[in-house]
Structure 1
Amino acid sequence: MRIRRALIAALLGCLPMMAAGVPADAALAKTDLAVKVTSQGRAAVGKTATILYEIHNLGTQPTMSATVWFEVQAPGGTVFDASTERGWSGYKCTWLTPHKRVRCRNDAMIYPDNDNPSGVYGFSKKLLYFEVKAKCTTPGRFTISYGNDTKPSNNSATLRVTVDGVSAAACAAKPSTSPKASPQAAAEFGSSGERLAVARAVIVS
């Protein structure tokens, strides 16, 4: 019954798209997709950090094939490792920044967590691997997009990689050490500047 409902929804959703020739948001089933990071990465410089994330369909309809896109921005100071890049070979991907930022199309349907065809509650769990290139890193981002998502606010999650042996304080922004003129010195400079301007005006005239 669940498979039949999914197939009917997919076929009905395709009709407006076939007639118009272009995908339309109204043709997509309404549902709530969400991404969640359950384990952030940690590794030493030169090693590989692993991040575990989940893709949920919180309901109530399955998405059609080739209607969901995901974009991944690697944390600053890292790059995707070769195995992660190879894992995307089956997707339709575009590299926005080589080894650091990619956008891919998910060609499979995403069923609601509690209404999979198998009848078993479940959702997608996947791993991302990043090679650590620097002692200090900055957050990356994982974002999914779907044309008829009922709650876009839960469509992205922060990706973090902590570097072993490097404290947060070591990577904190340092305050500026450039000297600043005191108010009195600034006033004196301004008055002398005014005097210089007057002197030049006299010479010119």
Structure 2
Amino acid sequence: MIAGIVLTGCGGPQMSPQETPSRDASFDDARAVNLEFKATVAAVQKQIFDGQWAVAEYGDTPQPCDEGYEFFLRRNLPDGFSFDGQGPQRMEELRTWLGDNGWQLAPTPTYGEGIENIVIIAGKPEAKVSRLDVDMVPANPAEGTIDVLELRATSTCEPGDAGALLDELRGPLTAVPSDDGIPDLESPDATPLFERFDEG
């Protein structure tokens, strides 16, 4: 994770206690934010690879932020995937695509000798993405390595109670929260999961 670069602050106005929406409205708002956030990121994923990605952090768990809650997801290319030597070119094409499609691009990070990562950092707060990192280590055939790419994204910070929303998603607090049903692999075209805890 590249630290120290902030593209945007938390979004949305703060609400006074009298304006706090009902539980149902809060959950519906969070679902709408989550779906828009994931759809925006999925469009980027499809520019890189339109097959199934490995799910590292699913992205449906509301986490506290300065003024409410946010979501974080992490995806990796599946084992054995290869850009066939075109990794750096594909990253440059992705950067151009992001710029052409309304993303705010941060300056390209530079690293010291021996660090080969190619990183793109961007944001699109109007589409619920405060920060997107695409981090690739290109294959080195001489050393027998393969392409490694990780995509990380954080949503905008939205007004609401992260803890209350998490209770509605996961049910009463348990020692080991259950993530049953979260896929190991997911296509960018898959319908995201964001449903209330089923008491049954």
Largest Rg, 1 or 2: 1
TM-score (norm 2): 0.29
More strand by share: 1
TM-score (norm 1): 0.29
